[in-house]
Amino acid sequence: MSRKHNATRRAFVVGGAIGAGAAAAAGAALVPEAFAKSGERETAMDAPAADHAAITEMSATNGGSGAFFNDDDAHTVAAFAERLMPGAPGKPGATDANVLNYIDLALSGAYEDQQYFYRTGLAQLDAHCAKTYAKPFRQLAQAQQDECIAALEHGKAPEFVWPTAQAFFDTLRKHTMEGMFADPVYGGNQDFAGWRLVGFPGAQPGFTRADMQSTDAFTRAPIVGLQSEIASASKKG
């Protein structure tokens, strides 16, 4: 896989995050939409004849070590997220930021209503890859994974019925961005990987005059997240 391709894909995702980081730089830490308020999205409630009893059963017998995903699905989501946000020397990607953990935890909490969406979408992804490549997504070469993701983005995966290929791609991209750039307290952005990537300092208690006038990325340690604020509030209480 070419470095140019990886850099282009990373720049596409990071570009959207920089806007969010700039808006948050006034002092509020980045909070995923589902933790702040409910939003409109394609969920299990929209599914044709969605069997919510089946969702519960699948979650209880997922055969994995995570909160929601079984091992195969975890590897698939981790690989998908990494191709959306590939790492490079000195530039962390989805794996470095532990995006998988963020999505896994979210689907057991704030995004619980999207469990059926993910189960069905991942099954359709495997069906598409089995027909096109004779292998599941997680076993494909990076070039094939990128080709598959592009097919989903442009709705060229006929094995997808519900959710649609575009809806599945959009949701994975959105959740990957959240896992990269939301506050680490939600399970992703490990070691502030995403914030360091875009130069976002977190919810700093204060900035110097030089900080406010500088056009360079913020590099003064430490980067501050909600966990530090919670710990500080507990000590004061």
Instruction: Please confirm whether the linkage preceding 222 is cis (ω < 30° from 0).
Output: yes
- Fill in the DSSP letter of residue 98: T
Coil vs helix vs strand at 198: helix
Name the pTM for this structure.
0.78
- Residue range 23-43, pLDDT digits in tens: 333 334 567 776 665 444 455
pLDDT at res. 45: 47
Nearest to 94 by CA among 107, 222, 103, 139: 103
pLDDT at res. 38: 43
pLDDT at res. 54: 45
Q: End-to-end CA distance of the chain: give it in Å, rounded.
A: 52
**Long-range own/partner contacts, residues 52-60 (CB < 8 A, 24 or more apart):** 52/116, 54/116, 55/115, 55/116, 55/119, 58/115, 58/119, 59/108, 59/115
pLDDT at res. 112: 96
- Residue range 49-67, pLDDT digits in tens: 444 444 444 444 445 568 9
Nearest to 82 by CA among 66, 101, 96: 96
Residue ranges of the chain with per-residue pLDDT less than 70: 1-30, 34-65, 221-222, 228-237
Between CA 198 and CA 179 the distance in angstroms is 14
Instruction: Please confirm whether the linkage preceding 48 is cis (ω < 30° from 0).
Output: no
**Any alpha helices (H) in the chain, and if so which ranges?**
3-24, 33-36, 52-60, 71-84, 99-106, 115-133, 142-153, 165-181, 193-198, 209-213, 226-236
Tokens 């980045």 locate to: 30
How many angstroms separate the Cα of 48 from the Cα of each of 52, 148, 162?
11, 25, 8
pLDDT at res. 27: 35
pLDDT at res. 237: 56
Between CA 1 and CA 7 the distance in angstroms is 11
